C-alpha cells in the first residue's frame, strides 16, 4: 500500500490535524514503509504457531484476592481540605 501526499492531507483534515508540506512528504514516506512492513508480516505463514500469552513457559502466578486499605488512611485524609472523622467531606452535587 502506498501513501501519497494527497492521502496524508486528506487524513489530516479528517483528524483535524495541521501538517505542513515538509512534514507531509516525510510522513508519507514513513507510512509507506510501515505499510510495506505490515504487508510482509501478513505474508508469513503462521498456521502451525500457537498464540502466546507470555514469552515465558511458566504459568502466571495467582495471588489471593483480599481487600486491603493499605493502612494509609490518615495520610490520605491529611490532604483533604475538609474531613469528618474518617471520611472526606465534599460539596453537594445533585440538588
Element (H or E) spanning 12, and its range? helix 5-14
Rounded distance, CA 87 to CA 95, Å?
21
Domains of the chain: 5-42 (1.10.20)
Length of the chain: 95
pTM: 0.49
Strand partners, 83: 88
How many CB atoms lie under 10 A from the CB of residue 27? 16
The model's pLDDT over 45-82, given as tens digits with 9 standing for 90+, comes to: 999 988 887 788 788 789 898 888 788 888 888 888 88
Instruction: Provide the pLDDT for residue 35.
Output: 93
Burial (CB < 10 A; 0-12, 13-18, 19+), residue 32, is middle
How sure is the predictor about 16, in pLDDT bands with cuts at 50, 70 and 90? very high
Amino acid at each position: 500500500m502506498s501513501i501519497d501526499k494527497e492521502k496524508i492531507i486528506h487524513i489530516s483534515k479528517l483528524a483535524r490535524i495541521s501538517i505542513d508540506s515538509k512534514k507531509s512528504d516525510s510522513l508519507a514516506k514513513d507510512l509507506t514503509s510501515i505499510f510495506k512492513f505490515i504487508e510482509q508480516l501478513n505474508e508469513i505463514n503462521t498456521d502451525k504457531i500457537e498464540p502466546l500469552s507470555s514469552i515465558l513457559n511458566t504459568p502466571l502466578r495467582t495471588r489471593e484476592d483480599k481487600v486491603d486499605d493499605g493502612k494509609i488512611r490518615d495520610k490520605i485524609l491529611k490532604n483533604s481540605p475538609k474531613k469528618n472523622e474518617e471520611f472526606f467531606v465534599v460539596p453537594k452535587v445533585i440538588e
